Amino acid sequence: MNPSATLSAGERIYRARRVGTTFGRIYLGIKANQFIARRLHPPDMRERWSRFNRTSAESIYDAAVDLRGLILKGCQFLGSRADVLPREYVEVLSRLQDRVPPKPFSVVKGVVERDLGRPLGAVFRQFSAKPIASASLAQVHEAELLDGQRVAVKVQYPEIDALVRSDLANLRVLFRAVGVFERELDLMPLLDELGAYLPRELDFANEGRNAETVASFFVDRPEVVVPKIHWEWTTRRVLVMEFMPGIKITDVGALRAARVDLNRVTQILIEAFCRQILIHGFFHADPHPGNLLVQPEGPRLVLLDFGLSKDLPPRFREGIVALALAVIRDDADGLGRALVDLGFETKNGDRESLREIARFFLDFARRFRAQPYADPRMFDELNDEIPEMIRSNPIVRVPNHIVLIGRVLGLLSGLGRTLDSHVDLLRTILPYALGRA
């Protein structure tokens, strides 16, 4: 076993203490500010929250960069949620998407040579020492194969398996402690889901197969492309793929300078995920900005990083069609039944609770349909109202595939806001949901 692949007792203790103190301070700060707002009503409360949010986000950023592993992965997700989190968190944590401090080249070279069983020069004519991207689990280097093909080489950090195991154990303790004080907040299902999918995300051969599966969905849609996998040089910890240049999807200035139609990019993006989820039942479940590039010619959307991909249950499409029809018909009972059929459960097993939630979402859908595009203010209002609704009618089990779809929708919503899109979401999604696309 590689000696760097295990953590010492001291390292495990340090990580546990770092996680606990960082999130403990933030939790206590939230409670203190809530008390001040509720009891004292200071006129500068908005500014107080803004300062607190930015300071908290910076402390989370520092901890994520320091600890990497699962902590960094989770913070990358949070940094893409412009439609949910306060602005200060998004501004700070979004820096994690593809600007994680890289590992030294000597570490990368060691992983590649060990996994491929030969010196670097026996496979690559050139291999850039400086990575083009570094993330929570791996970093990517540009290279050239001996036959001259330009490739991107994704290399997993050697200690990441041990880091993930340590982080899962630390978060399990932390989430249980949160559950003692916040009894309506059950975070353990989320942690269980992380523990289930992360091993698959750490297998780069699995990621390569996922990439080829999604690429097959778009053989007739040249506006969506996926890099080709070079299987002869791909292993569990090294992924060699076609190099595809492009502009990061959130670099609005560069996209506009290249005369790219931002509405067209958003349309392609939404349709790409409609096709994956609603037609093929298999989808890229981690479309954060670092995994999406735009090539100005066309434009074309480049999908990267398929480590987190998801198969949907066989009857999922029927459930979504029933849900869509209930929304169209303004049928709260039908929507409640559709939620049950999709696997939602309430604490006491009472379907009436789901029907009440259904009526809440139908009211939002009526307002949504009245808009020509997704008004960010409507989503801000929805995000204010959802927590109170869930506390009064607590859902205790949301199917894991619905959690991941919700995550994708949140990421796409945030990207739509960044691109200032006026795409008609309802008109785009409904034909796919009803099988008419």
How are the residues of the chain apportioned to helix, strand and coil, as percentages rounded to the nearest 5?
A: 60, 10, 30
**Closest by CA position to 104, among listed 69, 139, 151, 62:** 139
The pairing of strands 282-284 and 238-242 is unpaired
Distance CA 161, CA 66 (A): 16
DSSP string, 297-327: TTTEEEE---SSEEEPPTTHHHHHHHHHHHH
- pTM: predicted TM-score of the whole model, two decimal places: 0.76
pLDDT for the residue 198: 76
62 is catalytic: no
Query: Active-site residue among 83, 98, 161, 286?
Result: 286
Per-residue model confidence as pLDDT tens digits over 296-335? 999 999 999 998 898 998 888 888 888 878 877 888 888 8
Strand segments (E) across 230-378:
238-242, 247-248, 282-284, 292-295, 300-303, 309-311, 345-346
Span(s) in the chain for CATH 3.30.200.20: 98-158+203-243
Asked whether the CA dihedral 323, 430, 427, 85 is positive or negative, the reply is: positive
- Which among 208, 421, 168 has a CA at the least distance from the CA of 307? 208
pLDDT over threshold 80, residue 99: no
The C-alpha atoms of residue 65 and residue 204 are separated, in whole angstroms, by 23
Mean pLDDT of the chain: 83
CB under 8 Å to 226, separation ≥6 — which residues?
Answer: 211, 212, 214, 215, 218, 302, 303, 306
- Residue 168 pLDDT > 90: no
pLDDT at 182: 61
Q: What is the CATH number of domain 98-158+203-243?
A: 3.30.200.20
CA-based radius of gyration for the chain: 23
Residue 49 CB burial class (10 angstroms; 0-12, 13-18, ≥19): middle
pLDDT in tens, 256-289: 999 999 999 999 999 999 999 999 999 998 887 8
**Conformational region of residue 380, where left means phi above 0, alpha means psi within -120 to 50, and beta covers everything else:** alpha
Question: Positive or negative CA dihedral for 201, 206, 211, 214?
Answer: negative
In this structure, is the dihedral angle defined by the CA atoms of residues 279, 284, 286 and 291, taken in order, positive or negative?
negative
CB 230 within 8 A of CB 204: no
pLDDT at 3: 40
For residue 363, what pLDDT is reported? 79
**Amino acid letter for position 420:** D
